[in-house]
Amino acid sequence: SPAVSMLHLELYYHFTTTVFDSLAQRHEGSATSLETIIQASLSTPYLMHELLALAALHLSLVRPSQGTYYHTQATQLQCQAIALFRAREEDLNAATSLPTFLFSAILGTHVLCETLRFCTEGPSLATFLARFVQYTALHRGVRAVAGRTWDTLRQSAIAASWRVAESTPGVALGAVQQALLARIQAAKLGAVITDHYRLAIQCLPFSGDSSEPVASLTPQASCSRIIAWPVHVPQEYLAYLGQGRPEALVILAHYAVLLHQHRGFWVFGDAGAGLVVAIAEHLGTEWEGWLAWPQASILES
């Protein structure tokens, strides 16, 4: 094989000239300089592989005529990145906190994009739900390992990024969340299940009393918190989602509105609207009242 891979150089160039800027406009990485990311990746093979993987994924979307080729490359590079990361799990320490944080954030973005952009068109809702639950398990698993070293990030140059990534919305619920929670409480599902749903609803990054998703946040913070939602919800909620419980699907439909509000971000695309429609078709007319707001929201914007 050649000593220099022209493909990898192409992907590296694409990340530094295009992908990073797209993330900086919409994601927590905006508070992390390109130079910081590049320096970290040059000494951390698993991070470098994931940067290249994300660049390949982006190219698969913006160059549809070569989509299959770049998507295959993205998958292979991501698998290599995860294998390299797992091989270094025992070596993670305070000195590796920066690359592990970046790896977790970028991998999470990659796998969410993969799930949303490639599993909401064509496959059944059940297939999407299975992939979504798998995505959250992978992202949570990597974060659990990487997070052991993150205390040092509070005083680091990327402290702002770290705070956004780790923060969750406050306990005060907006009007839409309150209405959704009231329906779930009225359904009398039992205290334990209701509390799991309450926590999942509370994690939805709506702003204050507004019915507008994350209206008061910057685009970077908005998208970062949308990406973080599946990581912060209770594990039990994800189990209910995997089982296809209607109330869990309704909450997911509200999350899909957040995706739709930020559909200009290539990671989300048009997945939000498609997900609301798929959930509504699956649940049928019996759940129309529960889905009135999500359905109206995707029609209005």
Residue-wise pLDDT tens digits, 142-180: 888 877 776 766 666 555 555 555 555 555 678 889 999
Residue with tokens 């070569």: 66
Is the domain of 157 the same as that of 192?
no
> Is there a domain that residue 211 lies in?
yes
Percentage of the chain exceeding pLDDT 90: 60
Mean pLDDT of 83-91: 88
Q: How many domains, the chain? A: 2
Tens of pLDDT along 241-258?
999 999 999 999 999 999
> Is there a domain that residue 120 lies in?
yes
pTM over 0.85: yes
Is the domain of 95 the same as that of 183?
no
**Res. 181: pLDDT tops 80:** yes
> Is there a domain that residue 1 lies in?
no
Is the domain of 160 the same as that of 226?
no
pLDDT score of 209: 43
> Is there a domain that residue 147 lies in?
yes
User: Domain boundary residue among 133, 166, 199?
Assistant: 166
Task: Select from 41, 44, 51, 64 the least CA-distant residue to 10.
Answer: 51
Is the domain of 157 the same as that of 32?
yes
Is the domain of 151 the same as that of 207?
no
**Res. 215: pLDDT tops 50:** no
User: Domain boundary residue among 139, 166, 193?
Assistant: 166
Is 74 within 8 Å of 56 (Cβ atoms)?
yes
Mean pLDDT of 189-212: 82
Is the domain of 85 the same as that of 143?
yes
Is the domain of 264 the same as that of 151?
no
Mean pLDDT of 277-291: 95
Is the domain of 274 the same as that of 295?
yes
User: Domain range for residue 280?
Assistant: 175-300
Is the domain of 141 the same as that of 212?
no
Is the domain of 22 the same as that of 152?
yes
User: Domain boundary residue among 145, 166, 187?
Assistant: 166
> Is there a domain that residue 245 lies in?
yes
**Which residues is 206 bridged to in the sheet?**
213
Is 208 within 8 Å of 218 (Cβ atoms)?
no
Is the domain of 112 the same as that of 162?
yes
Tens of pLDDT along 18-63?
999 998 876 554 557 888 899 999 999 999 999 999 999 999 999 9
Is the domain of 64 the same as that of 32?
yes
